[in-house]
Every structure is written in C-alpha cells, then in structure tokens.
C-alpha cells in the first residue's frame, strides 16, 4: 500500500518554482499540459522499452558506456536494477533520456513520463538516478526522492493556479474529480491524489478493491492519500478503517457509483466529526473519497431531556 509522504517545505518550495518556470516557458494558459512540448523545451528524449527485447538491452548497455563510471564497469547493472526494483520507467541523466516500459497502459504512461520529467528538473536528483549512488541509496533517501518526483509530477500535470481555481469552483466530490481529470487530461487516480493531497480541508481518499469481488492475492487498498489537515487531526485513521467503512455501504454494482454514507470520525482529542464518504468503481478499482462535513454535536443527557452542547 502506498501512502502519500509529505516532503520538506523547503524542497516543496524549490520544486514548485522549478515546475512553475517550466509552465511559464511553455506559455501554459489552461487545460492539458502537453508533455511532448515539455520534453522539447527541456531537450529530453523519450523511448519505450521491452525488457526482454535483446535490442533494447544491447542499446542501453551501449549507451551506458558513456554514462556513470560504475555502470561502465558493470554494464549489466542497469538491467539488474530494472528487475530488482520492478521499474516501469527510468531516467538517464547523462543522456537526458526517459525510458518507459512499453507494456504499461497508455493512460499510466503519462504519469510515468511526468514523474521522470520531474526527476530531470530537480537538480539534486541527478546524483541519485541510475548512476553511482543508486545501488547505495538508503530506503529512506530513495523514498524521499520518489516522493519529491511524485510531488513535481503532480504540479507539472496540474498547474497550481489554474488547477486550484478549477478545484475551488465547485464542491469536492467524485463527480468533480472526474470532470477535473477530463479538463487536465489526466487519469482519475492522479486527479484524486492531487485534489486531496493539496486540499486545505480535512479529506482523504483511497484506491483499492471492490468489497464485493475481492481478489485475495491483492492488497485491499493500493493508495491511501490524506490532506495535511486530515493528517493533523486524524493521525490514527488508517487505510483499513476506510476499507471497513466502504464495506458497509458499497453496492454490488461492478462499475459506476457504489454509494455514499455519512460517517463519524473522532479526532485525536476525542471530538466527533461527521464526514461524507462516497465510492465509485471504474472497473479496475474503487475510488473512495471522504470529506469533512461538520463537527458532530455532543449530546449531554440531562434527566428526561437532551441538551446540545
């Protein structure tokens, strides 16, 4: 299960200004960000690969001869790394080249491409890519680098000002998320992620399995994303809690809206709050969104009558 990780405020500021510069240089106004134009601007090359294709292996090994020193000594290193990390995409800073696994579904390719572009734009990532440091990179450091690239990718595909304006023009719900996905030409999953992660309100979302049709060899929840305010007030809420709530109201329908409910969640001070939670199935997975509605009035019993506090 993947949980969104918050990056250091200073890195967030730096990455934001780098990505905003890309939008400025592109002359971005609104709608879908064209990644072909971004690559042209940044002089990045894109290739699709099939790992088992001997042509690809030969080509990449050949290219690496002008790459990082360690890789020259061990030309098979890259292939080992790809296998070990089960990479679907990678960026080779020396060649300014992005490689994406050709077997990845088309819609997902856009996210991978944008993630790799973010790596290329963030200057301190060059040292951590598949060169000398990758093999010694600690899991923590790797996690930070990946979180930074995801953050940059989100910013690139959903330009801050225009996206925030569009998001605030209507109420946060799954219908709005689907509309925003179309408007910015991105997947519903990435739109949901971005809309919740940088939301000022307390909200959360998950992407996971359909409660009526569980595949036992898979995780119930793949992604659990929360807003900063939610994390602060409800740090004890886990993806499993969302799974339990979802089970109570989700209909058996395979695709489309699965239902909604009002639920009560206690914050870290024990105060009850009411959230609106809804789910939608796109046939591959179930998207769930929860947003804060109101504090729940505490009812104090006073003899025969009840008094709202």
Binding mask 57-96 for Zn ion (x = CB under 5 A): ----------------------------------------
Least CB distance from residue 171 to Zn ion, whole Å?
Answer: 33
> Least separation, in Å, of the C-beta of 149 and Zn ion?
4
Contacts of residue 93, defined as CB under 8 A and 6 or more positions apart, other chains included, come to 120, 125, 126, 129, 131
Crossing angle of helices 9-26/35-42, nearest 10°?
A: 100
Give, as ranges, the residues between 208 and 267 that touch Zn ion (CB under 5 A).
Answer: none
What sign results for the dihedral spanned by CA atoms 23, 28, 31, 34?
negative
Query: Residue 154 or 211: which CB sits closer to Zn ion?
Result: 154
Q: How many residues make contact with Zn ion (CB under 5 A)?
A: 2
- Give whichever of 146 and 228 is closer to Zn ion, judged by the CB atom: 146
Interatomic CA distance for residues 164 and 153, integer angstroms: 16
Task: Give the nearest distance from C-beta 145 to Zn ion in angstroms.
Answer: 7
CB of 93 to Zn ion, least distance (A): 12
C-beta closer to Zn ion: residue 4 or 199 = 4
Q: Does 174 bind Zn ion (CB under 5 A)?
A: no
CB of 205 vs Zn ion, minimal distance in Å: 22
User: Angle 167-288-210 (CA atoms, 0-180°, nearest 5)?
Assistant: 150
- Name, in order, each residue with C-beta under 8 angstroms of 3's C-beta and a sequence gap of 6 or more: 223, 224, 225, 226, 239
**For residues 97 and 296, which CB has a smaller minimum distance to Zn ion in the complex?**
97
Compare residues 22 and 203 and give the one whose CB is closer to Zn ion: 22
User: 257 is written with which tokens?
Assistant: 């809206």
Identify which of 108, 203, 190, 196 has the alpha carbon closest to the alpha carbon of residue 156: 190
Q: Which residue is nearest to Zn ion (CB)?
A: 149
Residue 298 and residue 282 in contact, taking contact as beta carbons nearer than 8 Å: no
Q: Taking CB under 5 A as the criterion, which residues in 124-163 touch Zn ion?
A: 146, 149
Q: Please, what is the minimum distance in Å from the beta carbon of residue 115 to Zn ion?
A: 6
Cβ closest to Zn ion, residue 148 vs residue 278: 148
**Given the complex with Zn ion, which of 152 and 211 has the nearer CB atom?**
152
**Cα–Cα distance, 133 to 50 (Å, whole number):** 25
Taking the C-alpha atoms of residue 63 and residue 269, their distance in angstroms, rounded to an integer, is: 57
Residues that bind Zn ion (CB under 5 A): 146, 149
């Amino acid at each position: 299960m993947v949980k969104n990780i918050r990056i250091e405020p200073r890195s967030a500021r730096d990455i934001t200004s780098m990505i905003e510069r890309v939008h400025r240089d592109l002359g971005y106004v609104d709608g879908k960000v064209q990644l072909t134009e971004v690559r042209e601007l940044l002089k990045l090359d894109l290739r699709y690969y099939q790992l088992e294709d001997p042509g690809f292996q030969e080509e990449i090994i050949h290219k690496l001869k002008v790459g990082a020193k360690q890789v020259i000594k061990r030309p098979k290193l890259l292939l080992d790394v790809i296998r070990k990390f089960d990479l679907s995409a990678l960026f080779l800073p020396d060649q300014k080249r992005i490689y994406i696994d050709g077997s990845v579904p088309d819609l997902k390719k856009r996210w991978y491409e944008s993630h790799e572009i973010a790596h290329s734009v963030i200057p301190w990532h060059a040292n951590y890519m598949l060169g000398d440091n990758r093999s010694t990179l600690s899991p923590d450091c790797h996690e930070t680098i990946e979180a930074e690239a995801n953050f940059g990718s989100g910013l690139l595909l959903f330009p801050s000002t225009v996206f925030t304006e569009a998001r605030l023009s209507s109420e946060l719900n799954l219908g709005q998320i689907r509309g925003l996905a179309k408007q910015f030409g991105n997947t519903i999953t990435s739109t949901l992620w971005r809309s919740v992660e940088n939301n000022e309100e307390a909200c959360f979302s998950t992407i996971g399995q359909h409660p009526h049709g569980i595949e036992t060899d898979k995780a119930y929840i793949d992604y659990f994303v929360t807003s900063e305010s939610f994390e602060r007030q409800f740090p004890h809420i886990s993806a499993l809690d969302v799974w339990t709530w979802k089970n109570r109201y989700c209909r058996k329908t395979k695709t489309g809206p699965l239902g909604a409910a009002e639920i009560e969640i206690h914050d870290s001070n024990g105060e009850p709050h009411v959230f609106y939670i809804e789910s939608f199935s796109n046939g591959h997975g179930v998207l769930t969104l929860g947003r804060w509605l109101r504090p729940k009035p505490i009812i104090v019993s006073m003899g025969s009558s009840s008094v709202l506090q």
